[in-house]
């Protein structure tokens, strides 16, 4: 079941994701590293973010101390960042490994130009 769920997120098949029981979504991790919410950000599966956020804590950290919002900020994914903020992601949560917040990471990705930052226009 975990492989099928993993494939559904990587291929962004929202209808398939919705068919899995909440317990499967909640308990899934890649070797303890990332949740499905992290994977949705990594694979640009924006449509799945609100669905997965219902079952996975939006501020849940990976093995590396990253939240899904950290991943969106680090990769410059403004759409994912906005969706995560809409479902309650904390832009001030400190990454346990780097010591940065998603907002600071976003500014670095935007080369210090706030208008280029994925979190610049977020509420």
Report pLDDT digits (tens) over 68-88: 999 998 888 889 999 999 999
- Asked, for residue 36, whether it belongs to a domain, the answer is yes
Do residues 38 and 62 touch, judged by C-beta distance below 8 A? yes
Report the pLDDT value the prediction gives residue 41, as an integer from 0 to 100. 93
- Asked, for residue 9, whether it belongs to a domain, the answer is yes
Report the pLDDT value the prediction gives residue 116, as an integer from 0 to 100. 46
- Asked, for residue 37, whether it belongs to a domain, the answer is yes
- Asked, for residue 92, whether it belongs to a domain, the answer is yes
Mean pLDDT score, 94-99: 84
- Asked, for residue 122, whether it belongs to a domain, the answer is no
The structural domain count of the chain equals 1
Q: Report whether pLDDT(52) > 50.
A: yes
DSSP 8-state assignment for residue 34:
B
Token pair recorded at residue 11: 């291929």
Report the pLDDT value the prediction gives residue 117, as an integer from 0 to 100. 54
User: Domain range holding 14?
Assistant: 2-116
Beta-ladder partners of 34: 30
- Asked, for residue 22, whether it belongs to a domain, the answer is yes
Helices (H) and strands (E) in the chain, counts: 8, 0
Token pair recorded at residue 86: 């809409």
Share the mean pLDDT of the chain. 83
CATH number of the domain that residue 91 is part of: 1.25.40.20
- Asked, for residue 123, whether it belongs to a domain, the answer is no
Mean pLDDT score, 32-39: 86
- What are the start-end ranges of the H helices in the chain? 2-10, 14-19, 22-27, 36-42, 49-53, 68-75, 78-86, 102-109
pTM summary value: 0.81
- Asked, for residue 73, whether it belongs to a domain, the answer is yes
What is the C-alpha to C-alpha distance for residues 40 and 30, in angstroms, rounded to an integer? 12
């Amino acid at each position: 079941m975990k492989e099928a769920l993993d494939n559904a997120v990587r291929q962004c098949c929202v209808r398939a994701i919705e068919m899995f029981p909440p317990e499967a979504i909640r308990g899934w991790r890649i070797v303890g590293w990332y949740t499905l919410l992290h994977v949705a950000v990594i694979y640009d599966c924006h449509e799945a973010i609100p669905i997965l956020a219902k079952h996975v804590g939006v501020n849940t950290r990976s093995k590396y101390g990253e939240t899904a919002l950290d991943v969106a900020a680090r990769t410059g994914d403004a759409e994912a960042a906005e969706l995560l903020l809409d479902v309650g992601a904390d832009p001030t949560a400190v990454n346990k490994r780097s010591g940065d917040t998603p907002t600071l990471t976003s500014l670095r990705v935007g080369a210090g130009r706030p208008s280029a930052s994925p979190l610049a226009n977020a509420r």
